[in-house]
């Protein structure tokens, strides 16, 4: 049962943070092995992309106890044989006692549990799952079914946590990026592709653009088209280029070709109006050139009218039509409009070693209204690749949303915090310290006294001071001690955060090696101390019983909930866990990690 909460928000109370230290399987070599095979599952899951309509990518790798790969399989298309069935068949008797690595929890739309049953019947004993199924109605079903049959199921990020596991998990998110976007937002995954000269132009000043990039690059473009449900251009590109927009690499899936035009002032004859092999859709403003709409319809071109034509409404419409992945191959004006509407998630820039010049020659993205370089969007997870003489730079405009916050089952919810009614949860947001629940923030001015390893103790001005300084604790380098000193003397939690973050960025060698593994525990011990030390804070926390707590930070997607619920909300989760612990607390409390002030 998913928690569907305030618009755009839904939260799992089941946190990766809730299987913290005791259940951490911190055996690095086991993690390395699990990570290797999960990455392999993600790799083979991608095998059919570009040949079938975009669909969830599933891969399965079966590994014997002695570490041999006994069978592999990937889903070719929706409705074809599940990856797990193929892997089990390939492995034959070696399936017995094997571990199955799945990049994603199988989705069982028809209630027949084919994929999970194949593993159970083949007597697989352990299943490692890269990520839960992102669609709410499928999430957790197969995992529960497998566990109920006695198989050990380890989910990355929940039952297995470490840096190496996190990297492997990322490859699972990447291979199903379109599905994850579809599950977490009301628009499909969209990427903007453009070809530019080395001086940043997408055409000569005359508008001529054929060709900027090499044959090799254009072949890659065909592949990208084949991985998409639709390819979009604007009216000008049709008038100027008369494109075909087909995926011309053998056997490829052909995406729908879409023209966005407000004027509908398009040529009577165009390559896109030949729909004998591939369909074309024209999206336009309501009432535009009705007579031309009839001509298009007579040629078999679908025309869809919008009250006000804009990229977001078109993407919401495409979401409703079931599309997962959209490629924008338009010029700069439409690209700017789509970016401004927040519907472009990734960019593929093909850069050719040519200079064309021309003050009026177009660049790939038109007006975004930015005036200072500090306003620029930073691309994330940037990759560079040489293709023939050209370079392909790709990067994300928005991080891939982590679908984990959406779940969980009723049982799982109650296991984390029995006070929350999974059917009618309310949310309490907190963020800035002056807000009604601002005292829940790490930045609230509540000092805590924590023990030190050497037997002494230190008073920290806030949980944030303690958390930031912990990054550098236990590191012998004198630079690390200097960092701690600077954080202790920081005059405010904000300053402590600033110092800690910049030191971490500038001197990663001074940060304790296990920081990623322990940071949640560190935060929890700081929070525990704070709420145990101030009775009124404890009462305030207990009074929120029954509500989901969310740190409403729009930019911290780890500790906070994000702008639209895409964040992991670890701070909120830890507070709920603490609340739950206080509620069931016995007389022995937190003596060992918190000292009376």
Ligand X SMILES: Nc1c(N[C@@H]2O[C@H](COP(=O)(O)O)[C@@H](O)[C@H]2O)[nH]c(=O)[nH]c1=O
Ligand Y SMILES: NC(=O)C1=CN([C@@H]2O[C@H](COP(=O)(O)OP(=O)(O)OC[C@H]3O[C@@H](n4cnc5c(N)ncnc54)[C@H](OP(=O)(O)O)[C@@H]3O)[C@@H](O)[C@H]2O)C=CC1
* Catalytic residue ranges: 84
Instruction: Report long-range pairs for 139-144 (Cβ below 8 Å, ≥24 apart).
Output: 139/2, 139/105, 139/403, 139/406, 139/407, 139/408, 140/105, 140/407, 140/408, 140/409, 140/412, 141/105, 141/108, 142/105, 142/106, 142/107, 142/108, 142/113, 142/115, 142/116, 143/105, 144/409
Nearer to ligand X, 332 or 403 (CB): 332
Task: Pick from 260, 448, 520, 576 the residue near ligand Y by CB under 6 A.
Answer: 260
Task: Pick from 118, 129, 233, 475 the residue near ligand Y by CB under 6 A.
Answer: 233
Q: Let me know: does 48 contact 57? Beta carbons within 8 Å.
A: yes
Sheet holding 256-261, edge to edge: 302-306, 280-285, 256-261, 230-234, 325-328, 189-197, 346-352, 390-396, 380-387
Q: Let me know: does 442 contact 467? Beta carbons within 8 Å.
A: yes
Judged by beta carbon distances under 5 to 8 A according to partner kind, the member of ligand X, ligand Y, none in contact with residue 333 is ligand Y
By rule CB under 6 A, what string of x and - marks binding of each residue 360-379 to ligand Y?
Answer: --x-----------------
Residue 195 lies near ligand Y (rule: CB under 6 A): yes
Three-state secondary-structure class, residue 94: helix
Residue 209 lies near ligand Y (rule: CB under 6 A): yes
Candidates 231, 376, 386, 404; CA nearest to 318 is 231
CB of 17 to ligand Y, least distance (A): 42
| CA 101/CA 42 separation, integer angstroms | 9
Nearer to ligand X, 165 or 212 (CB): 212
User: Of 3-32, which residues contact ligand Y (CB under 6 A)?
Assistant: none
Q: Let me know: does 60 contact 74? Beta carbons within 8 Å.
A: yes
Nearer to ligand Y, 142 or 314 (CB): 314
Q: What is the DSSP letter of 51?
A: T
CA 572 → CA 354, 385, 547, 559, 590, distances in Å?
52, 40, 11, 8, 20
CB of 208 to ligand X, least distance (A): 9
Nearer to ligand Y, 88 or 230 (CB): 230
Candidates 105, 109, 176, 111; CA nearest to 146 is 105
Nearer to ligand Y, 310 or 504 (CB): 310
Judged by beta carbon distances under 5 to 8 A according to partner kind, the member of ligand Y, ligand X, none in contact with residue 337 is ligand Y
Token pair belonging to 480: 């690390």
DSSP annotation string for 201-266: -SS-TTS--TTSS-HHHHHHHHHHHHT-SEEEEEHHHHHHH-------STTPPPPEEEEEESS---
By rule CB under 6 A, what string of x and - marks binding of each residue 210-229 to ligand Y?
Answer: --x-----------------
CB of 305 to ligand X, least distance (A): 24
Task: Pick from 53, 184, 190, 261 the residue near ligand Y by CB under 6 A.
Answer: 261
Candidates 544, 546, 572, 547; CA nearest to 558 is 572
How many alpha carbons fall within 13 Å on the CB side of residue 584? 10
By rule CB under 6 A, what string of x and - marks binding of each residue 474-513 to ligand Y?
Answer: ----------------------------------------
* Residues found near ligand X in the complex (CB under 6 A): 195, 209-213, 217-218, 221, 233, 237, 241, 243-246, 329, 350
CB of 221 to ligand Y, least distance (A): 9
Judged by beta carbon distances under 5 to 8 A according to partner kind, the member of ligand Y, ligand X, none in contact with residue 236 is ligand Y
Nearer to ligand Y, 330 or 574 (CB): 330
Nearer to ligand X, 202 or 548 (CB): 202
Task: Pick from 337, 404, 444, 470 the residue near ligand Y by CB under 6 A.
Answer: 337
Q: What is the DSSP letter of 477?
A: S
Judged by beta carbon distances under 5 to 8 A according to partner kind, the member of ligand X, ligand Y, none in contact with residue 293 is none
Judged by beta carbon distances under 5 to 8 A according to partner kind, the member of ligand X, ligand Y, none in contact with residue 309 is ligand Y
Nearest-5° Cα angle at 320, 364 to 75: 85
Task: Pick from 103, 139, 236, 569 the residue near ligand Y by CB under 6 A.
Answer: 236
Find residue 390's DSSP bridge partners: 387
Nearer to ligand Y, 336 or 527 (CB): 336
CB of 261 to ligand X, least distance (A): 14
Instruction: Determine the interface stretch with ligand Y among 29-37, 202-210, 390-398, 558-566 (rule: CB under 6 A).
Output: 202-210
Judged by beta carbon distances under 5 to 8 A according to partner kind, the member of ligand X, ligand Y, none in contact with residue 261 is ligand Y
Q: For the chain, give the number of residues.
A: 597
| CA 509/CA 322 separation, integer angstroms | 47
**Contact residues for ligand Y, defined by CB under 6 A:** 194-195, 202-203, 207, 209, 212, 233-237, 240-241, 260-263, 265, 309-310, 329-334, 337, 362
């Amino acid at each position: 049962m998913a928690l569907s909460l305030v618009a755009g928000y839904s939260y799992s109370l089941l946190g990766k943070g809730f299987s913290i230290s005791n259940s951490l399987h911190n055996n690095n070599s086991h993690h390395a092995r699990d990570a290797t095979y999960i990455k392999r599952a993600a790799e083979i899951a991608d095998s059919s992309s570009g040949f079938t309509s975009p669909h969830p990518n599933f891969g399965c790798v079966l590994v014997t106890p002695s570490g041999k790969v006994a069978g592999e399989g990937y889903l070719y298309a929706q409705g074809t044989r599940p990856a797990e069935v193929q892997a089990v068949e390939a492995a034959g008797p070696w399936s017995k006692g094997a571990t199955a690595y799945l990049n994603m929890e199988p989705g069982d739309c028809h209630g027949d549990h084919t994929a999970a049953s194949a593993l159970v019947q083949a007597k697989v004993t352990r299943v490692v799952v890269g990520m839960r199924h992102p669609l709410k109605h499928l999430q957790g079903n197969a995992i529960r079914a497998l566990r109920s049959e006695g198989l050990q199921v380890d989910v990355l990020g929940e039952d297995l946590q470490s840096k190496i596991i996190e990297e492997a998990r990322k490859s699972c998110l990447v291979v199903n990026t379109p599905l994850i976007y579809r599950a977490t937002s009301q628009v499909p995954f969209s990427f903007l592709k453009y070809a530019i000269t080395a001086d940043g132009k997408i055409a000569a000043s005359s508008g001529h653009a054929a060709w900027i990039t090499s044959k090799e690059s254009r072949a890659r473009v065909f592949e990208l088209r084949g991985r998409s449900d639709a390819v979009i251009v604007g009216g000008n590109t049709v008038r100027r280029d008369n494109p075909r927009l087909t995926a011309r690499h053998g056997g490829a899936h052909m995406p729908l070709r879409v023209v966005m035009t407000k004027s509908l002032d398009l040529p009577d004859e165009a390559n896109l109006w030949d729909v004998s092999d591939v369909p074309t859709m024209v999206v336009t403003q309501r009432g535009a050139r009705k007579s031309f709409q009839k001509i298009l319809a007579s040629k078999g071109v679908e025309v869809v009218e919008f009250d006000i034509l804009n990229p977001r409404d078109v993407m919401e419409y495409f979401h409703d039509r079931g599309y997962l992945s959209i490629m924008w191959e338009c010029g700069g004006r439409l690209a700017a409009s789509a970016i401004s509407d927040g519907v472009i998630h990734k960019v593929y820039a093909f850069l050719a070693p040519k200079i064309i010049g021309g003050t009026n020659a177009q660049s790939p993205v038109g007006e975004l209204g930015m005036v200072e370089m500090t306003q620029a969007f930073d691309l994330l997870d940037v990759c560079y690749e040489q293709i023939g003489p050209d370079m392909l730079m790709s990067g994300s405009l928005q991080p891939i949303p982590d679908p984990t916050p959406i779940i969980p089952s009723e049982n799982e919810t109650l296991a984390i915090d029995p006070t929350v009614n999974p059917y009618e949860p309310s949310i309490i947001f907190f963020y800035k310290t002056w807000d009604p629940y601002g005292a829940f923030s790490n930045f609230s001015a509540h000092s805590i006294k924590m023990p030190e390893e050497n037997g002494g103790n230190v008073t920290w001005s806030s949980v944030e001071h303690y958390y930031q300084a912990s990054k550098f604790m236990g590191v012998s380098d004198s630079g690390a001690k200097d960092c701690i000193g600077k954080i202790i003397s920081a005059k405010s939690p904000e300053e402590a955060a600033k110092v800690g973050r910049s030191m971490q960025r500038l001197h990663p060698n001074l940060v304790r090696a296990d920081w990623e593994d322990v940071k949640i525990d560190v935060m929890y011990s700081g929070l525990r101390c704070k709420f145990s030390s101030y009775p009124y804070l404890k009462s305030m926390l207990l009074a929120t019983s029954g509500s989901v707590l969310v740190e409403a930070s729009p930019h911290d997607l780890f500790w906070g909930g994000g702008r639209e619920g895409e964040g992991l909300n670890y701070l909120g989760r830890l507070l709920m866990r603490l609340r739950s612990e206080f509620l069931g607390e016995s007389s022995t409390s937190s003596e060992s990690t918190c000292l009376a002030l």
